[in-house]
């Protein structure tokens, strides 16, 4: 592989890695503003405004009760395409479950109906989730730094051993995070992206496989597993993952890019 090819592949991985953070989730269902209009609290009902895989915490909103049937039709169409998933943390889900539908300024919305302490606990959990994701990023950068140093010329045996030890410590930290979040498909997807970005393709494959066991219709995890398979020389398995991802989202750019890579000449 030429240096240009390595840079091109590395850049694609970074793009995929960046898309794995919370911004990769879609914005949920696009609910018309007129469906939220109201005159009193009795007009409003709380509903899920996305269609994440079964078992995933879902986001909630409020609409006018007279629009519930139309909302079901909208959800049926969006969910059939495998889109409109806006995952949230379990604590956030529990907090939103305590919100009640209300008519505020002639618009249905959810208002807080919990004591201060649970609300603060939910917000603190959100802060911990954000810190966890940032720690993954920091750890990945540190692994890349160690890899670059190891590839440099003139390293002493002592320095090389030190860098290898540091890399093992960082990987152990990521492995521990994967084990601690074994039942969280979103966490497995994030971790898989991190492993992919540091060329730990076997670990990325394991995370993607666990994510798909919990969320078989998650196209991002399919693309992740497809790229890991491709990196590991499992071209047929990678092609199968891409086909499945494109069935769920025919316009998925990451899946289309991977399809083009797989269709290219064999190394």
Higher-confidence position of 149 and 48: 149
Q: 130-182 pLDDT, tens per residue? A: 788 888 889 999 999 999 999 999 899 999 999 999 999 999 999 999 998 88
Among candidate residues 171, 164, 166, the one with its CA nearest the CA of residue 203: 171
Query: Which residues in 202-225 are b (16+ Cβ under 10 Å) and which e?
Result: ebbbbbbbbbbebbebbbbbbbbb
> What average pLDDT score do residues 40-55 get?
80
Give the per-residue pLDDT at 122.
59
Domains for the chain: give ranges and CATH numbers: 7-24+130-263 (1.25.40.10), 33-114 (no CATH)
- State the Cα torsion 91-20-236-10 to the nearest 10°: -150
- What Cα–Cα distance (Å) separates residue 230 from each residue in 175, 188, 201, 227? 22, 19, 9, 5
Contacts of 107 (CB under 8 A, 6+ apart): 36, 37, 38
Q: 182-200 pLDDT, tens per residue? A: 888 888 988 999 999 999 9
Among candidate residues 80, 81, 110, 76, the one with its CA nearest the CA of residue 93: 110
The DSSP letter of residue 37 is: B
Q: Evaluate if residue 17 carries a pLDDT over 70.
A: no
pLDDT band at 231 (very low <50, low <70, confident <90, very high): very high
User: What is the C-alpha separation between 213 and 234, in angstroms, rounded?
Assistant: 19
Give the per-residue pLDDT at 123.
65
Q: Evaluate if residue 26 carries a pLDDT over 50.
A: no
Q: Evaluate if residue 228 carries a pLDDT over 90.
A: yes
pTM of the model: 0.57
Give the per-residue pLDDT at 43.
92
Phi-psi region of 17 (alpha: psi -120 to 50; beta: other; left: phi over 0): alpha
Higher-confidence position of 104 and 264: 104
Instruction: Kindly state the percentage of the chain with pLDDT values over 90.
Output: 35
Q: 214-226 pLDDT, tens per residue? A: 888 888 899 999 9
**What tokens does 18 get?**
């960046």
Range 237-240 contact pairs with CB under 8 angstroms and sequence separation of 24 or more: 238/262
């Amino acid at each position: 592989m030429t240096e240009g090819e390595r840079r091109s592949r590395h850049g694609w991985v970074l793009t995929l890695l960046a898309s794995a953070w919370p911004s990769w989730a879609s914005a949920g269902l696009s609910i018309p503003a007129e469906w939220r209009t109201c005159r009193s609290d009795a007009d409003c009902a709380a509903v899920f405004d996305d269609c994440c895989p079964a078992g995933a915490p879902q986001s909630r909103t409020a609409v006018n009760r007279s629009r519930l049937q139309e909302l079901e039709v909208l959800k049926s169409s969006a969910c059939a395409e495998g889109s409109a998933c806006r995952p949230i943390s379990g604590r956030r889900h529990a907090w939103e479950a305590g919100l009640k539908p209300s008519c505020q300024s002639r618009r249905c919305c959810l208002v807080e109906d919990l004591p201060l302490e649970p609300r603060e606990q939910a917000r603190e959990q959100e802060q911990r989730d954000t810190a966890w994701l940032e720690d993954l990023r920091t750890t990945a950068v540190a692994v890349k730094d160690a890899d670059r140093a190891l590839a440099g010329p003139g390293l002493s045996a002592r320095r090389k051993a030190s860098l290898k030890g540091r890399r093992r410590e960082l990987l152990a930290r990521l492995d521990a995070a994967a084990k601690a979040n074994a039942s969280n498909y979103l966490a497995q997807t994030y971790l898989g992206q991190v492993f992919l970005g540091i060329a730990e393709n076997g670990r990325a494959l394991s995370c993607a496989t666990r994510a798909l066991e919990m969320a078989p219709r998650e196209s991002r995890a399919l693309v992740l597993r497809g790229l890991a398979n491709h990196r590991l020389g499992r071209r047929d398995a990678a092609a199968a993952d891409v086909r499945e991802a494109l069935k769920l989202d025919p316009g998925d750019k990451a899946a289309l890019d991977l399809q083009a890579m797989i269709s290219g000449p064999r190394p």
